[in-house]
Amino acid sequence: MFRSPSLPPPPRTSGAHPPGARPGPRGRRFRRTSPAAAVAAAAALAASAALTAPASARPSGPPAQPDKRPVATGYGGAVSTVDPYASRTALDVLKHGGTAMDAAVAAAATLGVTEPYVAAIGGGGFITYFDARSGRVHSIDGRETAPGAMREDAFIDPATGEPLPFGEAVTSGLGVGVPGTVAQWELALDRFGKRRLRHLLRPAIEVAERGFVVDREFHDQTAVNEERFRDIAPTRELFLPGGKVPEVGSVFRNPDLADTYRALARYGGDWLYEGRLGREIVRTVADPPVAPGSGRTVRPGLMRPGDLAAYRAKLRKPTHVSYRGLDVYGMPPPSSGGSTVGEALNILEEFDLDADRPADALHLYLEASKLAYADRGRYLGDADKVDVPLRELLSQGFARERACLVKPGEAAAAPVPPGSPDGRYGPCEPARGAAAPVTREGPQTTHLVVSDRWGNVASYTLSIEQFGGSGITVPGRGFLLNNQLTDFSFAPPAPGAAPDPNLPGPHKRPRSSMAPTIVLEDGRPRLALGTPGGSTIITTVLQILVNRLDLGMDLPAALGAPRATQRNTPLVYAEQEFIDRYGGELRARGHELAPFAGPPRGVIGAANALEVLRPGLVQAVAEPERRGGGSALVVRPAR
């Protein structure tokens, strides 16, 4: 197995590009360093010695499990993630002069160790970022792409002519998209970082080597996957040590991933997209390493080396709507998060939401979600491959036309038809046509938020799709591959039906619901938030915004409040506390409520958020209970 020595990585010195900087592979740029910048780099390197010390100088035993706390308020930078190791990593980067983007990438790399079933370099994600220097919000697309050989009928079983069973498509090479995470990290750091990737991988390497304490969430996620993990030889070897699910309180180590991160630190993203690691990924996808004696059908995938070489992370223009005088920015296609949250907010702005009458406000929230999801299903896909009427979907004229269909005292029968975002809007235009079904989208994702001392803010959602992704580990590399291509629609629409913008296609990115969101007030950050949850991501982000901006809750209460999700389905699925608190009044309006089936059962999302309370003072908020609770930290706590 390849091993490389520890490297003392010099930090980056600037997020700006000097004149003459030339573009590099996958959007990277290579820059010259001025003498002044070299002095700054030396000073920063000395300040960051704690993060770059050789492994031999570090403690060799397993690290103590960091404390978890759901709320932290203070100065100098803040972070909220689902995992205390990742939050501590981000905090160390912030303390040693890193930007919010540096800290976000370092935390994500650590999540690849401690949350390997939702975050890995075998997956992808989306970043929304406020750059304090320019005062602008940017979005960075690291979504996986389909192989060039993928066609609309890729998930049709040739033996039956029917779509593959979802579980069979998930645990297969066929569902694996070209990973985007590493290219996204390099592009993000080049534009908005001060540190090099090889520097930011050091904390994750240490956690992978020394191990982390297994918590209930890691144990339960492994147990859910135990049956299929046993059927993939390298996955069984890594995640079922000794043939058993790791016990709560035990220490889990991943030396293979530590080696992989070391090689990535040395050789950069080209090692994955054009080098040895990429070839290993392709071999694994083409010939999944099924364990001897397994009876599971694990179909080969279509990925080829040229698919990895062609991959590019992309800077995109974020979505933007105005809501109650605030500017709300989100992720554009191929995510449907920014457009669907934005459309629902535009609809809600046509109404007064009374904090003293929360059931009335929640009725409107559910109705706005229903309409926005109808339009999401009909129009949203990869805008590089299909025509997405994004400007019209986010227009006030279209929102007024859709809002006219909302009755304050009566729920519309779902599914409702999509609207017509055609630029010609009349008073109360009735919707026509059939609603698209909600596609299956794994709820097992993760989110993090970070701010720094300069006022930069990162909102980052990353995923490998299902808990455990495809279930296929690259042999000897310590990470799972995604199953993001199962986010595509599996079958073309029936003859005469409306076209489906989310069918598979060559080099196409599957539609996502990830919704990393940033809210500005007078041009400066006020809120940043996001959540895992598959297609419930959109409703969770929307409900937190309504709770905070309309119902008068502070951010911890807005995030902790019970949730419901309406995705243009006949039933509203909700957490039990939501049903107990609001079910009677909402049923009287015609809503049919049922407990959310999960996974995990009865729990919708696991959000992270931050709020700038006043200049310099930031409150970071994580889940107090959902999925075991999260971890919020600040550089200098407020007294």
**Whole-angstrom distance, CA of residue 253 vs CA of residue 207:** 8
**Whole-angstrom distance, CA of residue 105 vs CA of residue 577:** 35
- Look at residues 203, 212, 208 and name the one whose alpha carbon lies nearest to residue 93: 203
**Whole-angstrom distance, CA of residue 379 vs CA of residue 489:** 13
**Whole-angstrom distance, CA of residue 191 vs CA of residue 193:** 6
Token duo for residue 446: 């993760």
Give the number of residues written for the chain.
639
- Terminal alpha carbon distance of the chain: 50
Task: From residue 388, give the alpha-carbon distance in Å to each of 89, 382, 431, 502, 504.
Answer: 39, 8, 18, 11, 16
Query: Is there a contact between 358 and 551 (Cβ–Cβ < 8 Å)?
Result: yes
**Alpha carbon of residue 68 to chain centroid:** 21
Token duo for residue 626: 């959902």
**Whole-angstrom distance, CA of residue 491 vs CA of residue 497:** 12
Give one word for 230, left, alpha or beta, with left for phi > 0 and alpha for psi -120 to 50.
Answer: alpha
Residue showing tokens 């042999």: 475
- Look at residues 137, 221, 144 and name the one whose alpha carbon lies nearest to residue 182: 144
Pick the catalytic residue: 445, 461, 517, 536?
A: 445
- Look at residues 395, 388, 373 and name the one whose alpha carbon lies nearest to residue 320: 395
Helices (H) and strands (E) in the chain, counts: 21, 20
Segment (H or E) for 519: strand 517-521
Q: Is 445 a catalytic residue?
A: yes
- Look at residues 374, 415, 407, 411 and name the one whose alpha carbon lies nearest to residue 393: 374
- Look at residues 442, 512, 439, 502 and name the one whose alpha carbon lies nearest to residue 126: 512
**Structure letter (DSSP) for residue 538:** H
Query: Is there a contact between 178 and 142 (Cβ–Cβ < 8 Å)?
Result: no
**Alpha carbon of residue 88 to chain centroid:** 20
Question: Around 443, how many Cα atoms within 13 Å sit in the side-chain half-sphere?
Answer: 22
Per the omega criterion (within 30 degrees of 0), is the bond before 516 cis? no
Segment (H or E) for 528: strand 524-530
Catalytic machinery residues: 445
